[in-house]
Amino acid sequence: MNIVVMKFGGTSVADYDCMQQVLAKVIRHRNLGRKVIVVLSAMAGETNKLISFAYQWSDCPDPAEMDSLMSTGEQVSTALFTMILKDQGVASRSVLGWQMPMRTNDKYCRARIQSIDCQTLRTMLEQYDVLVAAGFQGLSPDERITTLGRGGSDTSAVALAAAIGADVCEIYTDVEGVYTTDPNVYAKARKIETITYDEMLEMASMGAKVLQIRSVEFAKKYNVKVHVRSTFSDKPGTIVTQEDNEMEDALVSGIAYDKDQARITLAHVTDKPGVSAAIFSPLAEEGILVDMIVQNPSKNGQTDMTFTVPRGDLQKTLHIMEEVREEIGAEEIYHDTQVCKVSVIGVGMRNHSGVAAKAFQALREENINILMIATSEIKITCLIEEKYTELAVRTLHDAFELDKNNQPACT
Amino acid sequence: MNIVVMKFGGTSVADYDCMQQVLAKVIRHRNLGRKVIVVLSAMAGETNKLISFAYQWSDCPDPAEMDSLMSTGEQVSTALFTMILKDQGVASRSVLGWQMPMRTNDKYCRARIQSIDCQTLRTMLEQYDVLVAAGFQGLSPDERITTLGRGGSDTSAVALAAAIGADVCEIYTDVEGVYTTDPNVYAKARKIETITYDEMLEMASMGAKVLQIRSVEFAKKYNVKVHVRSTFSDKPGTIVTQEDNEMEDALVSGIAYDKDQARITLAHVTDKPGVSAAIFSPLAEEGILVDMIVQNPSKNGQTDMTFTVPRGDLQKTLHIMEEVREEIGAEEIYHDTQVCKVSVIGVGMRNHSGVAAKAFQALREENINILMIATSEIKITCLIEEKYTELAVRTLHDAFELDKNNQPACT
């Protein structure tokens, strides 16, 4: 059985006209003899409407009831879309999370997928050409409705593709694919034809919000080929897949940036064992995601610790640091929110030296001061002053000639 | 286990303030040590909104998808109400039709209840004090969502009460109970304390739209005590129950009327075997409910047939009659929509003669002409000209002294 999974987000099912675009794409696959699983989100704005509704009634809505409430969004969009499909004579039906069933744990509002019963879906695919599956929702061990958290429909789609062994998981969105950088920041940004899971993970986590990060992890784990493309065009988009030989030619795939950063510096911390734990354990307990960490070389038994957190967590972080201040012996605590992370991403840099040097050189030529540096096998990240964000992105994009398909090798 | 079922309709859950009234009533039962199953409808207007939504998208919405769509109405109201209950510290959860499960046949949009798995509900009642059950919805044999048709929440409530062996099924509405006649027509209308299932069936079918007719049939079949009462008051309402000795004192319980009638007369029909079948079989096939039927005595091998149908079916009925006209040899076909059915209802009349005579006499004294008559063991129905409806209702209400609790016996 030749199966394709197609996922459409809230803006793609926002109204009747959009749904007609979706319909045309689904029927094209069907007419080529493929079985189709269409995964739909709630219509744009519906989930937020339901959430604000709940908060009108309750200060602290019960999470399990919240999930029962929120899951109606996809129940509405799948029913309406199936009605249109059936009007066109397509053998189809809607499938809710509990009907698949998409088994999850019982962490309501942010459940994790545990298993999908393929037999039920396979039997349905024998009877129907198109299944219209509700994204975002699952079934807890005690048979209650769960939801997968924001953007969970991407994860639903990839999980279904993995479980059923689909040839490809097409994720439709309102952009034409993944770009070398944000086209709003630099018009020379170029659509990437193929990108690896790891590169996509770095791009997504840095704010290139095309694909939900968990769905990429899922795709990587189960080796699902993901095709990110536009609902409103027929051009091919970006294929997210595992690394192959062809890709090694590309040194750098893209430039990402993330302005949602705040930097905290603890000055003159006593440099003794256990200090790092004293700083970062209470942050972890509060669920605060610490990203970049730099510890200066020790001098006279003292050191400076600098790290970044999401801006929304700054006040909570400062509060916790005041509490541990005495224990760690920090003389001063500084913070700064006018900062931005800019990253150069590419699996190719693993095998080539000089990428970091080239990036630093390019920034220096524009007099952009680098506040912090972090590197991984496939990524170089610089924290810079926020006001230089756009200039830094353009500069790095030019330095690695990302507007061209064939980049020069680093020397 | 002392269990009470409470059903609240769309107007009772229309907004936060209404929900607070519902909350107070539920908590009162809980505080008396009772386990409570609250059956909710969708918030007022929601089901109609969903239906009109579907028709914007599809000319002929698929019934199974329609049910998946419509069932979101109760999914929203049950989740929101449970949130409020939990905020008050009440151990509670929502229960959807498929979670009970409320098993139905697969007639989507008008499914019939087949069975309810009490074990699941009983287990839940051990864990929770209050279950908030979605009315109107069930689960088909192939595990899809069904709905029970308009007013199905009443039937859900009575079915749950029957299955779980509840002490009483309280149906909350925006009136204080069942009245001897429509208080809008006659201010002397009196709230009835106790009424039998059969009387209630006659009252309901005649337009006293307090309880859905199917729910009363269900209550009668499983002997469920139903208490019809107001959401917005604490006064006792009307108990619908099986006949007992006390009730026999009441000769007549109420006067009902129904203006949704059209009369059709087929003049000079050939009086031969098979004529009735030729007239009424095609109507039955079209799902047209024929109510009163009168056949005049035959004269010269010809007869007149007169019957009534709901006004909305008049054109279809006339069309069918034209088609069979030749076969039945009808010389003329008349129709009249300016008619109304008025009924005198009471189990007491079974054991007393003279009720019909008294009713006819009362109407004659007001010069109200009776166009058709139909009688049953507990009902006398007269078809009259529509303009006399209110006068006829008041006249009959007075004739049987329904404004008083103790009516005089017929002589």
Q: What is the pLDDT of residue A297?
A: 81
CB atoms within 10 A of CB A406: 8
| Residues of chain A positioned with their CB less than 8 A from the CB of B61 | 83
Q: Which residue has the higher pLDDT, A241 or A150?
A: A241
Parallel/antiparallel/unpaired status of strands B238-241 and B226-230? antiparallel
CB contact under 8 A, A68 and B62: no
Alpha carbon distance, N-terminus to C-terminus of chain A: 48
Rg, Å, chain B Cα set: 24
CA B276 to chain centre: 29
Residue A191: the pLDDT is: 93
- CA dihedral sign of residues A91, A92, A93, A98: positive
Instruction: Tell me what percent of chain B is helix, strand and coil, each rounded to the nearest 5.
Output: 40, 25, 35
Give bridge partners of residue A194 from the DSSP assignment: A239
pLDDT at A250 (0 to 100): 66
Q: Name B249's Cβ contacts closer than 8 Å, sequence gap at least 6.
A: B348, B406, B407
pLDDT bucket at A354, cuts 50 / 70 / 90 = confident
| Cβ of residue B98 closer than 8 Å to a chain A Cβ | yes
CA angle, residues B118, B122, B123, in degrees to nearest 5: 120
Range 38-77 of B in CB contact (< 8 A) with A: 50, 53-54, 56-62, 64-66, 68-69, 71-72, 75-76
Token output for B382:
């007269």
Mean pLDDT of A231-260: 84
**Main-chain dihedrals φ then ψ at residue A315, nearest 5 degrees:** -60, -45
Measure the CA–CA gap between B98 and B95, rounded to whole angstroms: 8
Q: Which of B19, B72, B84 is the closest to A75 by Cβ?
A: B72
Q: Is B99 on the interface with A (CB under 8 A)?
A: yes
Tens digit of each residue's pLDDT (9 = 90 or more) over B18-72: 999 999 999 999 999 999 999 999 998 999 999 999 999 999 999 999 999 999 9
Residue A396 has pLDDT above 90, yes or no: yes
Subunit contact A64:B98, Cβ cutoff 8 A = no
**Whole-angstrom Cα distance, residue A239 to residue A231?**
15
Q: State residue B407's pLDDT score.
A: 58
Q: What is the dihedral of CA B183, B187, B193, B199, to 10 degrees?
A: -50
Q: Is residue A406 scored above 50 in pLDDT? A: yes
User: Mind listing the pLDDT tens digit for each residue in B357-381?
Assistant: 999 999 999 999 999 998 888 999 9
Over residues A166-186, mean pLDDT: 92
Which candidate, A48, A59, A69, places its Cα nearest to that of A144? A69
Q: Where are the beta strands (DSSP E) in B105-167?
A: 113-116, 130-134, 137-139, 145-147
- Over residues B297-314, the mean pLDDT reads 89
Which has the higher per-residue pLDDT, B207 or A175?
A175
Nearest to A57 among B50, B59, B80 (CB): B80
Task: Judge: A84–B58 Cβ closer than 8 Å, yes or no.
Answer: yes
Confidence of residue A202 (pLDDT cuts 50, 70, 90): confident
What DSSP character marks residue A328? H
pLDDT (tens digit per residue) in B210-249:
788 889 999 999 999 999 999 989 999 999 999 876 554 5
The whole-number average pLDDT for the span A218-235 is 94
Q: How high does pLDDT run on average in chain B?
A: 91
Residue numbers in A near B50 (CB within 8 A): 76
Q: Which residue of B has its CA nearest to A100?
A: B143
Task: Summarize the confidence of residues A207-217 as an average pLDDT.
Answer: 80
For a pLDDT cut of 90, what percent of chain A falls above it? 73
The answer to whether residues A181 and A254 touch, using CB atoms and an 8 Å cutoff, is yes
**Burial environment of residue A194 by CB neighbours within 10 A (0 to 12, 13 to 18, 19 or more):** middle
**Which residues does A202 contact at the CB level (< 8 Å), separation at least 6?**
A256, A343, A345, A378, A379
Instruction: Examine the pLDDT at A268 and tell me if it is beyond 70.
Output: yes
So what's the pLDDT on residue A174?
85
The alpha carbon of residue B164 is apart from the nearest alpha carbon of chain A, in Å, by 21
pLDDT of residue B377: 86
φ/ψ (deg, to 5) at A8 = -120, 135
Q: Tokens representing A163?
A: 């479980």
B82 or A328: which carries more pLDDT confidence?
Answer: B82
Contact A65 B59 (CB under 8 A): no
Q: Identify the sign of the CA torsion A388, A390, A391, A394.
A: positive
In a mutagenesis test of the A interface, which of B60, B67, B68, B85 is the best target, namely the one with the most A β-carbons within 10 Å?
Answer: B68
Instruction: Tell me the average pLDDT across B196-202.
Output: 91
Rounded Cα–Cα distance for residues A21 and A229 (Å): 13
Q: Is B13 helix (H, G, I), strand (E, B) or coil?
A: coil
Using CA atoms, how far apart are residues A169 and A158, in angstroms rounded to an integer?
6
What is the per-residue pLDDT across B242-300, written as a single tens digit (0 to 9) for each? 987 655 456 899 999 999 999 999 999 988 888 888 999 999 888 898 989 988 887 88
User: Does a cis peptide bond (omega within 30 degrees of 0) precede residue B408?
Assistant: no
pLDDT in tens, B69-95: 999 999 999 999 999 999 999 999 999
Q: How many residues does this entry show for chain B?
A: 411
Q: What's the rounded mean pLDDT across residues A380-402?
A: 95
Burial of B31 (0-12, 13-18, 19+ CB in 10 A): exposed
Q: Which pLDDT belongs to residue B274?
A: 83
Alpha-carbon distances of A407 from A208, A350, B361, rounded to whole Å: 21, 16, 104
Question: Within 13 Å of residue B284, how many CA atoms lie on the same side as its CB?
Answer: 6
Tokens of A262: 């705040």
- Ramachandran angles phi, psi of B300, nearest 5°: 55, 40
Interchain contact, B65 vs A59, CB within 8 Å: no
Rounded distance between C-alpha atoms, residue A408 and residue B289, angstroms: 82
DSSP state of A27: H
Q: Provide the number of CB pairs (under 8 Å) joining chain A to chain B.
A: 101
Distance (Å, whole) CA A46 – CA B327: 58
End-to-end CA distance of chain B: 48
Residue B409 in this model has a pLDDT that exceeds 60: no
Q: Which domains does chain A have, with CATH numbers?
A: 3-174 (3.40.1160.10), 268-334 (3.30.2130.10)
Q: Exposed, middle or buried by CB within 10 Å (0-12, 13-18, 19+), for A168?
A: middle
Q: How far apart are the C-alpha atoms of A73 and B22, rounded to whole Å?
A: 26
Query: With an 8 Å Cβ cutoff, are B65 and A86 in contact?
Result: yes
Minimal-distance CA residue of chain B relative to A84: B58
> Of the candidates A145, A122, A288, A135, which has an alpha carbon nearest to the alpha carbon of residue A214?
A135
Residue B30's contacts (CB-CB under 8 Å, 6 or more residues apart) are: B36, B90, B129, B130
Q: Give dist(CA A116, CA A104) in Å, integer.
A: 9
Q: Cα-flanking dihedrals φ and ψ of residue B324, to 5°?
A: -95, 0
Strand-strand pairing, A226-230 and A238-241? antiparallel
- Residue B411's pLDDT is 43
Strand arrangement, sheet containing B379-385: B254-258, B339-345, B379-385, B370-376
Reading the block at residue A254, the tokens are: 């893209």
pLDDT-derived band at A112 (thresholds 50, 70, 90) equals very high
| A57/B65 Cβ within 8 A | no
Percent of chain B with pLDDT over 90: 73
Touching check for B86 and chain A: CB below 8 Å?
yes
Contact flag B78-A68 (C-beta cutoff 8 Å): yes
Task: Identify the bridge partners of residue B221 per DSSP, sorted by sequence position.
Answer: none
Task: Determine the distance in angstroms separating the CA of B10 from the nearest CA of chain A, rounded to an integer.
Answer: 17
Helix%, strand%, coil% for chain A, nearest 5: 40, 25, 35
Q: Which residues between 268 and 287 in chain A have a beta carbon less than 8 angstroms from any beta carbon of chain B?
A: none
Place of tokens 């840095």: A206
pLDDT for residue A206 is more than 70: no
d(CA A352, CA A347): 10
Verify whether the Cβ–Cβ distance A94 to B65 is below 8 Å.
Answer: yes
Is A66's CB within 8 Å of B79's CB?
yes
Which one, of B265, B258, B375, B379, lies nearest residue B310 by Cα?
A: B258
Q: How many CB atoms are located within 10 Å of the residue A403 CB?
A: 15
Contact assignment for B16 to A56 by CB distance below 8 Å: yes
Work out the pLDDT band at A411, boundaries 50, 70, 90. Answer: very low
Name the band, by pLDDT with cuts 50, 70 and 90, for residue A205. low
Determine whether the interchain pair A69/B76 forms a contact, defined as Cβ–Cβ distance below 8 Å.
Answer: yes
